[in-house]
Amino acid sequence: MSTRCTLDIAGISIALSSEADLPIEAEGSARKFVCTDTVPVSAPEVRIHASWGDPREPAAPDLAFDSGKGLWRFYRTRSGPCFAFTSPALGPLPYQLASFSDDFTRGEVQIRREIFGARLPLYPLHYPLDEVLMVHLLAQGRGVEVHGSGVILPDGRGILFAGQSGAGKTTLSRMWLAEEGVKILSDERIIVRKENGCLWMYGTPWHGDGYIANQGRARLSRIFFLRHGTRNELAPVPRSQAVARLFSCGFAPFHDAAGLDFSLQFLDDVSQLCPPDELRFLPDRSALDFVRAN
């Protein structure tokens, strides 16, 4: 069993390490994002060390954000930003505490042994820490995570279908699964980044009901806001609305003014470089042909 593991999510390398008595490995869909020896990472962008501990909730005055259902809270402590994780099934004490440098590129994760000790090896970034961390890393100038599904067509075009729960992301993703030569990056979460003035979309480990989560990226060619319709059709979306709708489908640190500023500006750039349309679609194969043609 290992005490080292490196992930690559959306081009951001995250090196995990742990104490000798805490073997670690990626779990679930995150396994697909583990860097293999054939692609060595010389200088990981993010380094996180995990150890057993007695994680305690930081002082109440340092609380900056509460996710609302007792799942995670964000604190600004004197030593830096910190996430505390609890679960109703595990009692009032945090089962995990993750402390970071101000830019979130260096971190320490304290894990409660009474809860995890019999479940080794362990994934120190298990959900929601992995995704919460990614949202904060992206907001530091790297990109934005979007609530959407993403497919790569055989000709290389990357299509992002953005929409909140119930919009049809998984419905469409399942239909794309049957199409030859089409790669689905995710049925639930896509990360968008900008590189040399071009937009790229990346797969993520965070899947939806379709359990589709794959490593990979593609140039972003089209963005569609999904809506179930009575026929397949496109509706134009004014730019101001496009930014607002992208933001409503995006993930940003709501407690961080600078992070929010960046996210809004980034989504404005996205809507300019790749103007979204609303896609009203029928839940059958005709929708796929319609997307290909548009």
Partner 1 sequence: MIPTDQPPTSPEQRRKPYEKPTLSEVALRPDEAVLGNCKTAGVGGPAQADCTFFVGCSSVGS
User: Which residues would be at the binding site for partner 1 (CB under 8 A)?
Assistant: 27-31, 65, 67-72, 86-90, 116, 119, 123, 126-128, 130-132, 135, 147, 164-165, 188-189, 205-209, 211, 213, 241, 244-245, 247-248, 251, 254
Q: Which is nearer to partner 1, 118 or 293 (CB)?
A: 118
Please state, as a whole number, how many other Cβ atoms lie within 10 Å of the Cβ of residue 75. Answer: 21
C-beta of 181: minimal distance to partner 1 in Å? 26
Instruction: Give the pair of three-digit tokens for residue 174.
Output: 């399942």
72-80 — which CB contacts under 8 Å span 24+ positions?
72/128, 72/129, 72/132, 74/253, 74/255
C-beta of 292: minimal distance to partner 1 in Å? 26
Please state, as a whole number, how many other Cβ atoms lie within 10 Å of the Cβ of residue 42. Answer: 5
Q: Which is nearer to partner 1, 147 or 217 (CB)?
A: 147
Q: Which is nearer to partner 1, 27 or 62 (CB)?
A: 27
C-beta of 173: minimal distance to partner 1 in Å? 13
Q: Which is nearer to partner 1, 79 or 165 (CB)?
A: 165
CA gap 267, 139 in Å, rounded: 11
C-beta of 116: minimal distance to partner 1 in Å? 8
CA gap 112, 50 in Å, rounded: 11
C-beta of 65: minimal distance to partner 1 in Å? 8
CA gap 105, 92 in Å, rounded: 28
Q: Which is nearer to partner 1, 113 or 285 (CB)?
A: 113
CA angle, 25 then 106 then 76, to 5°: 115
C-beta of 96: minimal distance to partner 1 in Å? 9
CA angle, 98 then 103 then 108, to 5°: 25
Q: Which is nearer to partner 1, 224 or 247 (CB)?
A: 247
